[in-house]
Amino acid sequence: MTSTCRMILDVDTGIDDAMAVVFALNHPGIQLEALTTTYGNIDVASATRNTLQLLEAAGRTDIPVAAGCSRALTRPFHKRGSRIHGSNGLGEVELPLPTSQARPIWGPDLIIELVRANPGELTLVPVGPMTNVAQALMKAPDIAEKLKGLVLMGGTIWHPGVPGIASPVADANFFNDPEAARIVLQSGAPITLVGMDVTMKTKLTAPMMDEIAARGGKAAGITMQAARFYLAAYQAQYPDITYCALHDPLAVAVAQDPSVVTIEPMQIDVECVGELTRGQVIPDRRRTGTTVPSAGVAVAVDSERFEALFLETMVAGA
């Protein structure tokens, strides 16, 4: 029996982030302590608005939200998410403007404050670009050893990268800010990497959407409306696909119960300057006795178990 996972969720709230937020809210083994927002799927202001809207729909405005970085460490942000997440980040699902507001604190500072106040208790789960986490670690390196865990949704070792970016073996989160990803990976924090090697094997199908929409609460219903847009985007870019992947929800699930995936310790780094490889995870799997693992990398997933858990959890808040 796993213990309750006290979680900070760092999001660039597009469609799969929204599902991850609702999953975390509904899961009985997760205590969501705070949400920090960043750019990625959408600009940071829109990600913050979407997050507040979801919390209001779920009746959970008690959870603090703090806006963080609006761009990568070294490059400006040019929004590229409309094709996948819609112009508003939620698949064009229109929601009332939130009546609640983000806390008057910068996202990385909220991460630092909470981790220092709860040493060894909090798991940080960034499911967008790693910029907020890198900024927090640069400002307060001591939080690396104070985290219970750091579960990153990013990277790929074997699976092809996302369509539409220059690097053929890179995911969007690491590609958006590889310098930040490298800082995080070299921080010494207890890292688990949940990347496309496993997330692309998790499936949200149209029948699952129907069931969650019919049985779930208001916030789950909103995410399933948005998921229709997400599924159509997947079908436009992947030939013959019948599902969309549950990237961010899987990372949240692994943070609470790592046994849903198979983890291999690896020494990994991120390419930051390659013309064709920027954002690509570079694993050193040589067994020479000199390589020191820097992360546990999820290399396989019990997809059937996780998909059943996802469905059960998403309807739990009804």
Rounded-to-integer distance, Cα 53 and Cα 286, Å: 47
- Which has more pLDDT, 238 or 19? 19
Q: Return left, alpha or beta for 189; rule: phi > 0 is left, psi -120 to 50 is alpha, else beta.
A: beta
Dihedral, CA of residue 12, residue 14, residue 62 and residue 9, to nearest 10: -40
Q: How does 162-187 read in b/e, with b if 16+ C-beta sit within 10 Å?
A: beeeebebbbbbbbbbbbbbbbbbeb
Check whether 317 has a pLDDT greater than 80: no
Q: Counting runs of H as helices and runs of E as strands, what totals does the chain give?
A: 13, 11
Contact call for residues 182 and 270 (beta carbons, < 8 A): yes
Active site residues: 247
Band of the pLDDT at 1, cuts 50, 70, 90? Answer: very low
Rounded-to-integer distance, Cα 265 and Cα 149, Å: 15
Locate the domains of the chain by residue range: 5-314
Q: What is the pLDDT of residue 232?
A: 94
- pLDDT tens, 234-264? 999 888 899 999 999 999 999 999 999 999 9
- pLDDT tens, 104-162? 999 999 999 999 999 999 999 999 999 999 999 999 999 999 999 999 999 999 999 99
Mean pLDDT, residues 90-100 taken together: 94
Check whether 10 has a pLDDT greater than 90: yes
Rounded-to-integer distance, Cα 10 and Cα 5, Å: 15
* Percentage, residues of the chain above pLDDT 70: 98
Question: What's this model's pTM, rounded to 2 decimal places?
Answer: 0.96
Q: What is the pLDDT of residue 276?
A: 93
Mean pLDDT, residues 35-53 taken together: 97
Q: What is the pLDDT of residue 125?
A: 98
Single-letter amino acid, residue 273:
V
* Percentage, residues of the chain above pLDDT 90: 91
Mean pLDDT, residues 303-316 taken together: 97
Give CATH for domain 5-314: 3.90.245.10
Q: What is the pLDDT of residue 80?
A: 65
- Select from 150, 181, 170, 178 the least CA-distant residue to 296: 150
- pLDDT tens, 76-91? 998 766 888 999 999 9
What's the whole-number average pLDDT of the chain? 95
Dihedral over Cα of 144, 193, 272, 38: its sign: negative
Rg (CA), the chain: 18
- Which has more pLDDT, 317 or 47? 47
